[in-house]
Amino acid sequence: MIPIPLNKQQGFSLLEMLIAFSILAVSLTILLKIFSDGVNTAVVAEDYTAAVQIAESLMVTTGVETPLVAGQNSGLENEKYHWLIEISPFEFNPENVDNATQTAVLFKVKVIVNWGNGNANDRQIKLTTLKLINKTL
C-alpha cells in the first residue's frame, strides 16, 4: 500500500512573519534610540570639556597676562562660547589682623562660560578662585 502524504505545512505562516517583523521593528527602534542618545551625550560632553578648558585658561591668565584689578571683562571664544570674568576684592577682616600692615591683597576671580542658542536651555559653567597679589606700598 502506498502511503498518502498528509498535507503538512512547510515554512512560516503569514501571521508568524508579521509577528517576527513587528518584533524586529520594535528592537531596531529601541537600538536606534539608544545610539542617538549616546551620540547626543557625547556632543554635550565635548561642549562641557571645551568650556572648562576655556574657563581654566582664562582663570590662569587673569593676573598674569592681564592686570588683576576689580571689574569685568567678556568675550567670545570659537564663535560659540561666551565668557565673562568678574574680579572683585575679597574682604577678609578678622579681628586680629591690621589692614595697615597687610602686604598682600586677595581678589575673588569668577569665570563664567555659557553657550547655546540664546534660549532658556543654554548651558553654563562657573569657576571661582582667589588670587593673591602684593600690595604696593
Among residues 69, 73, 60, the alpha carbon closest in space to that of 133 is found at 69
Whole-model pTM? 0.71
> Cα separation of 113 and 78, whole Å?
12
pLDDT in tens, 36-66: 999 999 999 999 999 999 999 999 999 888 8
Q: What are the grid coordinates assigned to 7, written together? A: 498535507
SS3 state at 92 = coil
Q: Where are the domains of the chain?
A: 14-134
Q: For 60-101, what is each residue's pLDDT tens digit?
A: 999 888 888 889 999 999 889 999 999 999 877 666 556 566
Q: Helix, strand, or coil here: 16?
A: helix
111 within 8 A of 58, measured Cβ to Cβ? yes
